[in-house]
Amino acid sequence: MKYKTPKIEELFEAGAHYGHQVRRWHPRMSKYIYSAKDNVHIIDLEQTEKLIAKAAEFLHEVAKKGDQIIFVGTKRQARGIIEDNAKKCGALWVNERWLGGTMTNYKTIKKNVDKLLTHIRKREAGEYSKYTKKERLLIDREVEKLQKIVGGLTNLNGIPAAIVVVDPRKEKTAVNESNKMHVPVVSLVDTNSDPSGVDYIIPCNDDAIKSLSLIVGSLADAIEDGYKEFEKDKEKIKADKAAADKKAKEEAEEIRPIIVKGVEVTEEVADKVIKEAVKKEKPLEKDIVEAIS
């Protein structure tokens, strides 16, 4: 079943319409503000609903191609939501600290990921049992530190196709690096944040857990659905190729003994020609003529 995005009623119930105090607003968010109540800005949920759907559609298309997506949210209330939803949909995540250069210096990230995976492999294999208690403690601390920094990026194979951010104000470095590397940014943006640098803006309350869970969860559903379609397409291509190979072999077997222009071809030559024709997926007759000429 195709993914669904939240409607206005659901967003309202989750408190997604509550912005920040009027005095803390950012002027570039004015077009997404519906009104003000008790000195707090109220976000226009009609726009939020449409923009979530637009962002979800974009992420779904990215996932359909099998491309990688990173979820980024290091503020306290977003950490668990980011990790849980990224794991659920097959995306990558950063929820402790964005390491400078994650986008612009992939070699450094890869080095840290390799170090983490090596530690984990050696520890599981019992290779650290020969070390002293103090040495093992130091290794455990390094593993814990690396887990926080790159634990959600262990499958990263290069520059991602998109990132999903909670609060671009908090994740300014991630947004700036993405802009520099021309990586599209999808972001939940509250009334106190500058939306510049965000390609797919989702105006909403980016502090309330209910709001974050609802919106991030819906984006994760779209990504998960896209990855499932990618896997189905991959299996279909594989099945189609297998069927084509089988058909080619069956057709090739029907040609023995082979006679072209009145000349009988030896079994040895026929075998060679058939194998080459199947491999190249070419018409057999042309190859046979070439072989006996």
pLDDT score of 292: 46
Is residue 147 assigned to a domain? no
Total number of domains constituting the chain: 2
Q: State the Cα–Cα distance between residues 92 and 157, nearest whole angstrom.
A: 11
Say whether both 203 and 269 belong to one domain: no
pLDDT higher than 70, residue 264: no
Say whether both 90 and 194 belong to one domain: yes
Say whether both 287 and 164 belong to one domain: no
Is residue 95 assigned to a domain? yes
Is residue 50 assigned to a domain? yes
Beta-strand ranges (E) seen in the chain are: 18-21, 33-37, 40-43, 69-72, 92-94, 162-166, 185-189, 200-203, 259-260, 263-264
Say whether both 276 and 170 belong to one domain: no
Say whether both 75 and 175 belong to one domain: yes
Kind of pairing between the strands at 92-94 and 69-72: parallel
Summarised one tens digit per residue, pLDDT across range 33-64 is 999 999 999 999 999 999 999 999 999 999 99
Summarised one tens digit per residue, pLDDT across range 207-259 is 999 999 999 999 999 999 999 999 998 877 777 677 776 777 777 666 655 54
Beta-strand ranges (E) seen in 39-124 are: 40-43, 69-72, 92-94
* Domain coverage including residue 265: 255-292
Q: State the Cα–Cα distance between residues 115 and 129, nearest whole angstrom.
A: 18
Summarised one tens digit per residue, pLDDT across range 178-199 is 999 999 999 999 999 999 999 9
